[in-house]
Amino acid sequence: MTQSLRLGVAGLGTVGAAVVRMVARRAEALGQTSGRTIRVTAVSSRDRSRDRGLDLAGVAWFDDPVALARSGEVDCVVELIGGAEGPARATVEAALAAGKHVVTANKALLAKHGAALARQAEAAGVALAYEASVAGGIPVIKVLREGLTGNAVSRVYGIMNGTCNYILTRMEREGLTFEACLKDAQALGYAEADPTFDVEGFDTAHKLAILTSLAFGTEVDAEGVSVEGISAIQPLDLTMAEELGYRIKLLGVAQVAAGGIEQRVHPTMVPKSSAIAQVMGVTNAVTIDADAVGELTLIGPGAGGEATASAVVSDITDIAAGTRRPTFGRAAAALSPSQRVAMQRHEGGYYIRLTVHDRPGVAAGVATRMAERDISIESILQRRSESAASKDPHGRSGQPVPLVLITYAATEGTIRDALDAIAGDGLLAEAPQLIRIERE
């Protein structure tokens, strides 16, 4: 075999420790696969005294990850610190400047600085690999960048955050509120103490921006992603989805649209018959629509030490074997500027839950405002409290009740304009719920 590939692992949290163990455990197989011995020669972490269950005998320890990145003891830097700025960015930039390969799981860093880092890696003639940055152990980066080069991709979408999928699964199966499920997710370690990044969709947006660049050859543009989270979802929405033949998932969706690429993250109703609707709990799934293969769905663990380490070690093995591909599938100079498509121009079906006053003429008033804007209603359902309605001789309580509409394809701007008009008519008791429908 040729000279060993010497790894410097920056960050010894759950994933970093799993990478060190996996490289040691699979040393012989990795060497046979890559034709080169792979070994960890240096590590960096904030707490030197913590017992991680690792044998670090003969491994250099660096308190400063940037010093590790510049060290002559390292050929490839594995950045597992996290964050778009600070030590993570400084470590990756230092490694590339020193002509060292980089493997990272850092979606926030790539979403914000991916294009610049790709140019830096290209100029240095080294690899910048990041399979673990999206969907954990699912090899979606390789599939898009290498496996589907003969295809034109029209859409890529998926469940890319296990925390949100866990919460929605529990809400659906047990009729629990968002708040109750979030509390359980935090107790189980699926959600952070501050869950905003996950439940409000920003984590998914970063991952989607990376997949968009790979799928469509554009510069990474996380700022161009329209983002909504799941905190406003109520048990009633999941119940109504069930009755209508749908299931609610937080999806990241990127697709070709008139004028550019539409990027959006939001709660979505998907047909229960679809493959992605069957993905429950903390599992992730990504579906790719392409001209030659049709629909391809990848399902697997989206997080966790071993699953993420699997993706990291896959990248390391490629580097050891001398495999180096353009960071986002083509030369950095060939990436086209992102052409943003405003969410108002999105066209599709919608689930709309209105909380209206239970009195004569309300449903007709809602329907009129929709018809004025050429919005066709596929179905309409109204729920009334039987106990309250029984007190009124006409079966109307006057109390707030849910009115659910399913529309045929309409633009987002038209739907929101209609909802503004309905609110202006005084028909709503609270803000409406709007969930997009992603049909097969």
pLDDT band at 5 (very low <50, low <70, confident <90, very high): very high
Cα distance between residue 19 and residue 345, in whole Å? 44
Q: Residue 408, SS3?
A: coil
Tokens of residue 93, six digits? 């930039």
- Taking alpha carbons only, the member of 407, 408, 400, 409 closest to residue 382 is 400
Q: Tell me: the pLDDT tens digits for 304-359?
A: 899 999 999 999 999 999 999 999 999 999 999 988 887 777 788 999 999 998 88
Query: Active-site residue among 142, 207, 272, 391?
Result: 207
pLDDT tens for 136-175 read 999 999 999 999 999 999 999 999 999 999 999 999 999 9
Other C-beta atoms closer than 10 Å to the C-beta of 301 total: 17
Q: What is the pLDDT of residue 95?
A: 98
| Cα–Cα distance, 104 to 9 (Å, whole number) | 10
Q: Do 145 and 271 meet the contact criterion of CB atoms below 8 Å apart?
A: no
Per-residue pLDDT tens digits for 37-46:
999 999 999 8
The candidate with the shortest Cα–Cα distance to 2, out of 27, 34, 28, is 34
Assign domain 2-133 one CATH number from 1.10.10.1150, 3.30.450.20, 3.40.50.720, 3.40.50.300.
Answer: 3.40.50.720
Model pLDDT, residue 347? 80
Query: Is residue 96 over pLDDT 60?
Result: yes
CATH domain 140-301 topology: Dihydrodipicolinate Reductase; domain 2 (3.30.360)
SS3 281: coil
Burial group, residue 35, by CB count within 10 angstroms (0-12, 13-18, 19+): exposed
Model confidence, pTM: 0.91
Residue 70's Cβ-side half-sphere holds a number of Cα atoms within 13 Å equal to 8
The residues, ordered by sequence, that sit 6+ positions from 200 with a Cβ below 8 Å of its Cβ are: 227, 228, 229, 231
Tell me what pLDDT residue 388 has.
Answer: 45
Measured CA to CA, the distance from residue 132 to residue 138 in angstroms comes to 8
Half-sphere exposure of 251 (CA within 13 A, CB side): 25
pLDDT digits (tens, 9 = 90+) for 384-427: 654 444 455 455 566 889 999 999 999 999 999 999 999 999 99
In this prediction, residue 381 carries a pLDDT of 84
Q: Are 250 and 204 in contact (CB under 8 A)?
A: yes
Tokens 């106990």 label which residue?
387
Is 375 in contact with 347 (CB distance < 8 Å)?
A: no
Respond yes or no: is residue 207 known to be catalytic.
yes
DSSP state of 375: P
Residue 73 or 1, more confident: 73
CATH class assigned to 344-437: alpha beta
Supply the DSSP string of 223-246, one letter for each residue. GG-EE--STT--HHHHHHHHHHTE
Find the mean pLDDT for residues 64-80: 97
Residue boundaries of the structural domains of the chain: 2-133, 140-301, 344-437
Q: What's the pLDDT score for residue 338?
A: 86
Give one word for 87, left, alpha or beta, with left for phi > 0 and alpha for psi -120 to 50: alpha
Task: Find, among 135, 109, 401, 82, the residue nearest to 279 by Cα.
Answer: 135
Q: Which residues contact 258 (CB under 8 A, 6 or more apart)?
A: 341, 345
Q: Give tens-digit pLDDT for 206-263.
A: 999 999 999 999 999 999 999 999 999 999 999 999 998 999 999 999 999 888 999 9
Query: Would you call 371 helix, strand, or coil by DSSP?
Result: helix
Q: What is the pLDDT of residues 102-149, one digit of tens each?
A: 999 999 999 999 999 999 999 999 999 999 999 999 999 999 999 999
Q: Tokens 């539409």 map to which residue?
A: 262
